[in-house]
Amino acid sequence: MKLDVRDLVQRFDGTAVLDRLALATGDIQALVLVGPSGGGKSTLLRILAGLDVPTAGSIAFDGQPLPRDEAALRAYRKTVGTVFQAYNLFPHLSALDNLLLPLVHVHGLSPAAARDRVREPLERFQLAAHAHKRPAELSGGQKQRIAILRALVVQPRRLFLDEPTSALDPEMTAEVLEMIGELKTLGTQFVLVTHEMGFARRVADEVAFVGEGRVLAHGAAAELFDHCDVPRVRDFFRRILA
């Protein structure tokens, strides 16, 4: 996954949430976005996932420009997976049916083929025993892991995860982070927004610090956390990691 973002601007009601943001990565598997709340991380992620259209600027993944018209964006969204802070599971459906729904109704698999597709991932991530439970019967960690699995079973080109542990207690957070870490071993490409700095350092190939609507620092995880020469970023890490 090679990402090239140039002069990205996003305005809401005249306010620039992203202000000529630029970012060029190497050929990587995992990009992690960190930084202060309100700095523009989630806005950037939504644009990268094709959910929002920027006011100005350009984005390319692996040399392919991200489309801007709605028809092309709909096609693009089918090739990626997104996971948000809220689980967005259908409460009246079982965990299994939440997994099957997009496979059958969005991606056109037969019900039998969809069941075959999800069987192994449910086992791999220790969720098979919970497959017939409705969301209200699942813990927060289990619900978020089902949400991640729902994005994964469509076999996306890459995943976009926006603060997937922010609503969880420490034990449930550990469950979800372990699952995301396993995605790395499986070769899944992903972009992750997180406040879990220790995990960001372990899982990221590159980290981008997003604040004030721009990328204030960017580089390999260890280099950025240990040797960043940008005072704003260095002070942030000193407070968070103290």
- CATH number assigned to the domain comprising residue 53: 3.40.50.300
Same domain flag for 169 and 234: yes
Same domain flag for 168 and 150: no
Please state, in angstroms and rounded to a whole number, the distance separating the CA atoms of residues 20 and 40.
12
Structural domain range at position 148: 89-156
Please state, in angstroms and rounded to a whole number, the distance separating the CA atoms of residues 124 and 128.
9
Please state, in angstroms and rounded to a whole number, the distance separating the CA atoms of residues 8 and 50.
14
Please state, in angstroms and rounded to a whole number, the distance separating the CA atoms of residues 46 and 160.
8
Residues, the chain, total?
Answer: 242
Same domain flag for 8 and 54: yes
Domain-embedded: residue 227: yes
Tokens coding 152: 């994964």
Same domain flag for 7 and 97: no
**99, 134, 156 — which closes off a domain?**
156
Q: What's the pTM?
A: 0.94
In this structure, the strands spanning 30-34 and 206-211 are parallel
Please state, in angstroms and rounded to a whole number, the distance separating the CA atoms of residues 215 and 217.
6
**Structurally, how many domains does the chain consist of?**
2
Domain-embedded: residue 61: yes
Please state, in angstroms and rounded to a whole number, the distance separating the CA atoms of residues 116 and 123.
12
What is the full per-residue pLDDT of the chain (242 aa) written as tens digits?
Answer: 999 999 999 999 888 999 999 999 999 999 999 999 999 999 999 999 999 999 999 999 999 999 999 999 999 999 999 999 888 899 999 999 999 999 999 999 999 999 999 999 999 999 999 999 999 999 999 999 999 999 999 999 999 999 999 878 888 899 999 999 999 988 999 999 999 998 999 999 999 999 999 999 999 998 898 888 899 999 998 888 76
